[in-house]
Amino acid sequence: MSDVHACLQAAKADKTAAMRLSGLDQQLTQLKAEQAELTKQWEKEQQEMQRLQSIKNEVRVPTGQAFLNLSWKCVAHYVDSTS
């Protein structure tokens, strides 16, 4: 009789484990979908940040050597246009 009881306990444990595993599989699937969505959102935000950085670099006022180079280009252009 104890063998039957042990088999029943094992079957019950297996059923509980199977139910728990099923729940964990569902949770894993949900988390993977959430991760994919967050990754997609992050990539979109990264692209926007790169776009804004590019605009910022274009608009940035030149300083130091870059300013001097730009100044000489302006002077050269002015001299060429008045000649």
- What's the pLDDT score for residue 61? 65
Distance CA 45, CA 58 (A): 20
Number of H-type helices and E-type strands within the chain: 2, 0
Q: Could you tell me the pLDDT band of residue 62, with boundaries at 50, 70 and 90?
A: low
Express as a percent the part of the chain with pLDDT over 90: 37
Query: Which is more confidently placed, 55 or 46?
Result: 46
Distance CA 52, CA 49 (A): 5
pLDDT of 63 strictly over 80: no
**What domain range is 23 assigned to?**
2-82
Task: Tell me the per-residue pLDDT of 6-37, one tens digit each, with 9 for 90 and over.
Answer: 776 877 778 888 898 899 999 999 999 999 99
Rg of the chain in Å (alpha carbons): 34
Domain count, the chain: 1
